[in-house]
Copies of this chain bind each other. A is one copy, B any other.
Amino acid sequence: MASSSESNTRPIRLADIAKAAGVSHGTASNVFSRPEIVREEVRERVKAAAEAMGYAGPDPKGRLLRAGKVNAIGVATTEPLSYFFDDPFARAMMAGISEACDATGAGIALVSAGNQEKLAWNIQSALVDGFILFCIEGGSRLVELTRERKLPFVALELGFDDDTVSAIGVDNVAGARLAAQHLAELGHRRFAVLALPFADGSTGLVSPEKVRTALYTGTRDRLVGYFEAFSRYGVDTAGIPVYETENDEASTRAGLETIFASAAQPTAILAMSDRIAMVAIEWLAARGIAVPGDVSVVGFDGVPDAALCDPPLTTVAQPIAEIGRRAARTILDFDGTVRRETLGVELVVRASSGPPPKAA
Contact surface of A with B, Cβ cutoff 8 Å: 11, 54, 56-57, 60-65, 68, 70-72, 80-82, 84-86, 91, 94-95, 98-99, 101-103, 105, 107-114, 118, 121-122, 124-127, 148-151
Contact = CB atoms under 8 A, between A and B. Distances in A.
Contact of A57 (B56, B80, B105, B149): B149
Given A61-B127, A84-B85, A108-B110, 17 more contacts: A11-B150, A54-B150, A60-B125, A61-B65, A63-B125, A64-B64, A64-B65, A72-B109, A80-B98, A80-B102, A81-B99, A81-B101, A85-B85, A105-B118, A105-B122, A107-B122, A110-B110
A82 to B, nearest CB: 4
B102 A60 contact: no
Number of copies: 2
Task: Give the residue among A61, A102, A107, A114 with the most B Cβ atoms within 10 A.
Answer: A107
A54 B68 CA distance: 19
A336 to B, nearest CB: 9
A101 B89 CA distance: 22
A248 B84 CA distance: 24
A63 B150 CA distance: 17
Task: Give the residue among A65, A125, A148, A150 with the most B Cβ atoms within 10 A.
Answer: A125
A170 to B, nearest CB: 20
Contact of A68 (B61, B70, B84, B108): B61
Contacts of A111: 107
Given A57-B148, A71-B125, A86-B95, A109 B108 contact: yes
A7 to B, nearest CB: 13
B57 A124 contact: yes
A84 B102 CA distance: 13
Task: Give the residue among A11, A62, A122, A151 with the most B Cβ atoms within 10 A.
Answer: A122
A72 B56 CA distance: 19
Contacts of A94: 82, 84-85
